[in-house]
Chain A
Amino acid sequence: MKQDFIKFPLHLIMHPFDGFWDLKYDGKGKARVALTILVLVVISVILRNQFAGFLVNFNDPRYLNSLTQLITIIFPFFLWCVSNWAITTLMDGEGKFKEIVMATGYALLPIVLTYIPMTIASRFMVKEETAFYYLVTSISTIWFIALLFVGMMTIHQFSATKTIIIMLLTVIVMGIIVFLGTLVLSMMQQIYEFIVNIYREIIFRT
């Protein structure tokens, strides 16, 4: 338990090449840990938006909605995983879908580790010190992207350039999926309207 949830994730973010290798080939990664990290990310983002200090918190409290935030994190996460899987299966990636989910989930850990302490610290900061807050949060973002990069590289056994191309393609595919999704949705709506109209016509005619 302690090994799965604490020791291995912490080892992974410090030694990503080693860690992701173990994640894939030694079976040390667990999907439930990745999903727990994802939930923690959602919680830490919600906490940050709600409770970060006045000087760094530019959210309008009237429009903060935890459910919206939940969706805006969970949905892109799985969208990323699906489109990454779709792309890599075509381009000889070795990763399984479960491994993609795990790698992405574990890579999110720095965000959890920095957001919660910085949210607390930001409440005790004055204007000059908020630069520190922004520095730490941007480091965590860069860390996350770097981990994601190493993770993708190790999971799929790609070269560095290919990984970059794959990541960019994944983002494009995400856009395509969203586009197709809205297209299908609006078409379904039209079909539904059409059927309802025909039904009405028949009802009124007879």
Chain B
Amino acid sequence: MAAKKWFLVVAAASLLFINAAPAPVSAASTPYESYNYNFWEESVPSPAAYVPSRSVSGADLGIGDFLEPSDMVVTESGLIYIVDTGNGRIVNVDEQWKVLGVISRFNNEGKEDTFKNPTGLFVDDEDNLYIADSDNGRIVVLTKEGELVRIIDQPQSEILAADFKFNPIKVTVDKAKRVFVVAKGVYEGIMQFDSNGEFIGYVGTNKVTRDYTEYIWRLLSTKAQKSQMVLFIPTEFSNIDIDAKGFVYATNIDPGSKEPVKRLNPSGEDVLKRFGYFDVKGDILFRRILGPSKLIDVKVLKNGMYSVLDANQGKIFTYNDEGDLLYVYGGKGNQLGTFKTPVAVESIGGNQLVLDRGKSNIVVFEPTKFGSRVNEAVGYHYNGDDQLAVPIWQEVLRLNSNYDIAYIGIGKSLLMEKRNGEALEYFKLGMDRENYSVAYKRYRREQMKEHFGTFMTVLLVIVAAWLAFKFVSSQRRKRMKPISGFASQKLKEGKTS
């Protein structure tokens, strides 16, 4: 009986104890796991860089639900345009999520015209809207108010096949008003139009890589078998964006590619910096059944950073201008902050927006302390203010001591201040062998200059001591010689006799 009572008391006390200490609810709890990759290509847990704050659907905006929206653009002035594909309309919203206008029809030479499956949008610096009206096979250029400027129609050119059907999916425009179009079924690259809408040519073809096992199979197979095999054609681009300097960022969805993100210069060469520990391709470790990342959107952020969207896992990967992975957020699921079929990523202010076609809504992500500090430090580093970045990197390291880029950032600043010995330690922590070598070269020279006197003195003393030893021993041998010679002779004689 007494034992039972005791048991009850203990149980009650334990209940109390549990209630007294509730499960720690961290402010930055997320429905996805945050991680980054270290030098050894292992995924290491990391604090979340962005947390979901709210989701916005068409009904929330008071204009009826979106139907399969497929693109989203944020202008420099902070206006958000959403391409509501299924409803054939472009929705214009301001930063406070107040609807400013809905464009679903426009005046085409006196006739009323509509969109058919618009899938891509770009807003240039004069606030003109470039709409990839895919099923109508044209790009419609409208002013902000919805007045028609011009239409880019089916291109005419001898390099295009006779039965070519223009089916634009994504569009972007540079400062010179050249229009870059990703079109369906076009494997030659990104289609490029001049400011009058004339087709100029292609830029940035994806290369076909040879698969050697496939090659051997081909050698062994008959003609009939060969015709059954898939053709090797370059992959299509999935999305494009343009940065302030006029470089086109493009993604493709080639699953085996090591370079699914490209930064094309005006002559169409890929100039993306890939100085990180591993390829700029989203996840580097993944389960085989899930497959590698499928990058379907790219958004150029400020300070050379860019985010890419992985449709396969619903993750957003953000890289700095040198190709280091800064942070990863997002995932697949039903909670706020996870996606069904994410299609577009954008940034507004410090926040990031992700458009989810499956859920027909937009999720707003706010940076955490960690995320905003990283962004800040990357910005300072990009603009050459490495010294200003140091205290911020140190704060980042307090939040995440596994953050290699922060160590390298501090190391670079120390290197610039000629504190080579300290820089060495930081580069070693960040596993940056290139910069370590540079720092070590300077450090070694420094040390040699500093200790040259001592070194030479020691060396001279050693040489002198050695010479003295030689001299003394040779003197002794001279004295010993007649005796030893005699002894050996004696020995020899003894042997022969």
Residues of A within 8 A of B (CB): 54-55, 60, 124, 126-128
Assembled-state Cα–Cα distance A126/B437 (Å): 5
Answer whether residue B273 sits at the interface, using C-beta atoms and an 8 A cutoff.
no
A60 to B428, CA, bound (A): 13
Using CB atoms, name the residue of chain A closest to B442: A126
If A124-B444, A126-B438 are given as contacts, then 15 extra A-B residue pairs at C-beta distance below 8 Å, sorted by A number, are A54-B428, A54-B433, A54-B436, A55-B433, A55-B436, A55-B437, A55-B440, A60-B40, A126-B437, A126-B440, A126-B441, A126-B444, A127-B433, A127-B434, A127-B437
Interface-central residue, B428, B434, B437, B441, by most chain A CB under 10 Å: B437
State A54–B441 Cα separation when bound (angstroms). Answer: 13
B428 contacts across to A, CB distance below 8 A: 54
- A-B CB contact pairs (8 Å), 17 listed: A54-B428, A54-B433, A54-B436, A55-B433, A55-B436, A55-B437, A55-B440, A60-B40, A124-B444, A126-B437, A126-B438, A126-B440, A126-B441, A126-B444, A127-B433, A127-B434, A127-B437
Q: Which residues of B contact A54 (CB under 8 A)?
A: 428, 433, 436
The answer for the CA separation of A127 and B437 in the assembled complex, in Å, is 5
* A-facing residues in B408-459 (Cβ within 8 Å): 428, 433-434, 436-438, 440-441, 444
Where chain B touches its partner, the secondary structure class is helix
Q: Which of B40, B434, B438, B440 has the most CB of A within 10 A?
A: B440
How far, in whole Å, are A128 and B438 apart by their CA atoms in the complex?
A: 10
Q: What size tier do the contact residues of chain B reach?
A: 10 to 19
State in angstroms the CA–CA spacing of A80 and B428 once bound together.
39
Contacts of A127 in B (CB 8 A): 433-434, 437
B residues in contact with A55, CB < 8 Å: 433, 436-437, 440
Distance (whole angstroms) from the CB of B423 to the closest CB of chain A:
13
Residue of B nearest to A123 (CB): B440
**CB-based nearest A residue for B435:** A127
Within 8 A of A (CB), among B187-219: none
Chain A residues positioned under 8 Å from B444 (CB to CB): 124, 126
Query: How far apart are B401's CB and chain A's nearest CB, in angstroms?
Result: 16
Interchain CA distance A124-B441 in the complex, whole Å: 9
Nearest CB in chain B: distance from A107 CB, A: 33
What's the Cα separation between A56 and B346 when bound, in Å? 42
For B437, the chain A residues whose CB sits under 8 A away are: 55, 126-128
Interface string of B5-23 (1 = CB under 8 A from A): 0000000000000000000
Measured in the bound complex, the distance between the Cα atoms of B441 and A60 in whole Å is 24
Residues of B close to A124: CB separation below 8 A: 444
Q: Whose C-beta in chain B lies nearest to the C-beta of A57? A: B433
When C-beta atoms are compared, the residue in chain B nearest to A128 turns out to be B437
Roughly how many angstroms separate A127 CA and B438 CA in the complex, as a whole number?
Answer: 8
Report B432 CB to chain A, min CB distance, Å: 10
